[in-house]
Amino acid sequence: MELTAEQKKTKCLIEKVWSAIGMYSPWPVAVAMTESSLGVNQKSPTGAKGVFQMTSIAMKDLLLEMENKNDDVVDILCGTAFLYLLLKRWGTIEEATAHYCDPKDRDFYVERVMNYIKLLTEE
C-alpha cells in the first residue's frame, strides 16, 4: 500500500504510542486507515473527529473507564495526552505546568515539577 508522507508520519506516531504500551499489532493503524485514511484533520458529518474519528461519547466513555476502573494504561494515556495539549496551548513546560494544577498552588507546583525534571535528567 502506497502512503503519502503525512500518512506515513501518522502511521509511525500510532505505532510508537501503541508499542509504548506493549502492543505491536497493526490493528490501530488499520482502524485509523478505515476511519480517516490516516488523515489528522478529518471531521465527519456526525461530529466524529481526527485520525480515529472519536466522538464526544467515546471520549467520555474513555474517561469514565479511567474513573471507574482505575486502569493505569488509560490513566497514563489520558494524562500524557492532556499534558501534550497543554504544552501545545501554552508553549512552554513551565506555562503548561502552571495550567495543570490548582491556580492557588501554581508557584509551588511549577517549582516542584521543574525540580523533578532537573533530578530526572541528571540520572
Residues 75 and 120 both lie in one domain: yes
Residues 42 and 91 both lie in one domain: no
Residues 5 and 42 both lie in one domain: yes
Q: Per the structure, how many domains does the chain have? A: 2
Query: Whole domain around residue 77: which residue ranges?
Result: 70-123
pLDDT along the chain (123 residues), means of 10: 91 90 86 89 84 85 76 76 91 94 92 93 81
- 63 part of a folded domain: no
Q: Would you state the pLDDT for residue 123?
A: 67
Q: Would you state the pLDDT for residue 42?
A: 81
Q: Which residue has the cell 525534571?
A: 117
- 60 part of a folded domain: no
**Maximum C-alpha span of the chain:** 53
- 64 part of a folded domain: no
Q: Would you state the pLDDT for residue 47?
A: 83
